[in-house]
Chains A and B, each alone.
Chain A
Amino acid sequence: MDIDLIFKIAAVGILVAVLNSLLTKSGRDEQAMMTTLAGLVVVLLMVVKEIANLFNTVKALFNF
């Protein structure tokens, strides 16, 4: 139970949103797209780790 992870994801989301709007305003649509994608992948890695942790816990608990 650490709230840091949720804040981290929110920070990445806000950062990506800001970068995205900046890059779109300056006419670099491809780079904005790449930033979005990179942010998504970074967050997805954190989320996958947490979900794997959950599934392993359930597996160990109910001895699958």
Chain B
Amino acid sequence: MRFIAILAILNVISALVGLSVGSSNIGIYDVVKVLTGDSNENVKQIVLNCRLPRLLLAMLVGSSLATAGCSMQAFFRNPLADPYILGISSGACVGVALVIILEIATIQNIMISAFLMALITAFLVYKIGSLARFREQSYAILLAGIAISCFMNGLASILIYLASQSMHLVVFWIMGSFSNTTWNDVFFLAPVSILCILFIFLNSWNLNAILMGDEHAKAVGLDVERFQKELLAVVSLLTASAVAVSGIIGFVGIIIPHTMRLIVGESHQTLIPATILFGSAFMPLVDVIARTTTAGELPVGAITAMLGAPFFVYLLLRGL
């Protein structure tokens, strides 16, 4: 409980940092003034319509990806499972690129298309990885994920190439970024991601059960097949919605849950809330790094990859 409180405080700090750092010279003092309603219109405009939606979106995306990663690790009983590694993000990406090339890119269409492609990818990975001959091999699911991820990335590249006039936009979007966030994105993402995260939070008991293995989960009376289907859909939806608004931000689903596991342990009753809160505190901070280290903006996805890949190798070396 104390640790959850610490995470909550971390969120407040992260939010304040997120709001008070940026290209225009508006610091924490100005932010406080905006919050108390005592500032000029210009500053207010930047804080409320630029930084605040961006902050909220980063928080939501961080929580979504972290929670998705955490539940996939239970689902596949593999500590290296994550929406990015298993190609679900890439699947969603193909969905987005499809919509852009067809020039029907409203946020709803992007979302629906990304979700469908993410779901198809997740299902494929699951089916291949759970073939009887792979059952006892924890690498199988990863290899299946990598193969499908490569395929989807290739497909996305072709689509991007075809969409030549808006190519650099799409490329930058794929690298993952929170720039140009509007309230629209937040209003769109918030209900989907909050509902999905809530579903996972309420099912943390069942996540513990499937962590034991299908047979053991059935033994305690869980309808494993149904729960797995629901979970696969929810995780795909979480990933797809995050990808739809912010592109591909990899490894968040690995870094956050594992760091939390080291601190609060494996039980999902505490792990899921900790993951949600750490995800929402972590992502805005990375975003701050992205937009302050250079004159322009680094892609957030590139930074998480730089942080996440060594972490992945560490987990690999520690043994699956």
Indicate whether A and B interact: no
Q: Could you list which residues of chain B lie within 8 angstroms of chain A, going by C-beta atoms?
A: none
Q: Could you list which residues of chain A lie within 8 angstroms of chain B, going by C-beta atoms?
A: none
